[in-house]
Amino acid sequence: MSEINVTPFVDVMLVLLIIFMVAAPLLTVGVPVELPKTAANALPTEQEEPLTITIAADGQLSIMNTEIAPDALVPRLRAIAAERADDKVFLRADGAIAYETVVQVMGALNQGGFTNIGLVTDTGGPTFDGASPATDG
């Protein structure tokens, strides 16, 4: 009999598929920050992975998962903007960071060529209209 038995190959591929399906959600931006809570809704998703700038509680800046010095931020952003089709960037800042620092980073983003800046927050914060915050559940 000269046929190839593909059953073990299919079994191995199914196991790999399950492993990747479980591991894929764990591959998110890994800089831990305590995001402030707001009543804003989530932005719609895009086809291109959005650029994420993070300001940690100690003031450390990160582009995606890579830490960067503040004086190297604008040149790096210009290089990234030249390669990207979209000018959307998400700014994640720890709630303990001063407003002045967040605004300075937003100015650097503007100088770097990114004018479409989205501020990332957690849901469930105050609504300021007297209604209770939305809860999941």
Where do the structural domains in the chain lie, given as residue ranges?
A: 51-121
Architecture of 51-121 per CATH? 2-Layer Sandwich (3.30)
pLDDT score recorded for residue 14: 94
Number of Cβ within 10 Å of residue 88's Cβ equals 16
Which tokens hold the place of 41? 């809704």
| pTM more than 0.85 | no
The owner of tokens 């770097």 is 112
Q: Using one digit for the tens of pLDDT, what is the confidence trace for 51-93?
A: 889 999 898 999 988 899 989 999 998 998 888 877 888 999 9
What are residue 93's phi and psi, to 5 degrees?
-130, 135
Q: What does DSSP say about strands 51-55 and 88-93: parallel, antiparallel, or unpaired?
A: parallel
* pLDDT at residue 124 is higher than 70: yes
pLDDT score recorded for residue 64: 87
* pLDDT at residue 13 is higher than 90: yes
Q: Is residue 37 within 8 Å of 122, Cβ to Cβ?
A: yes
Number of Cβ within 10 Å of residue 82's Cβ equals 8
Report the distance separating Cα 61 and Cα 34, nearest Å. Answer: 14
| Continuous segment of H or E residues that includes residue 83 | helix 73-83
Confidence of residue 11 (pLDDT cuts 50, 70, 90): very high
The owner of tokens 């809860």 is 135
Which tokens hold the place of 125? 């914060």
Confidence of residue 137 (pLDDT cuts 50, 70, 90): very low
* pLDDT at residue 39 is higher than 80: no
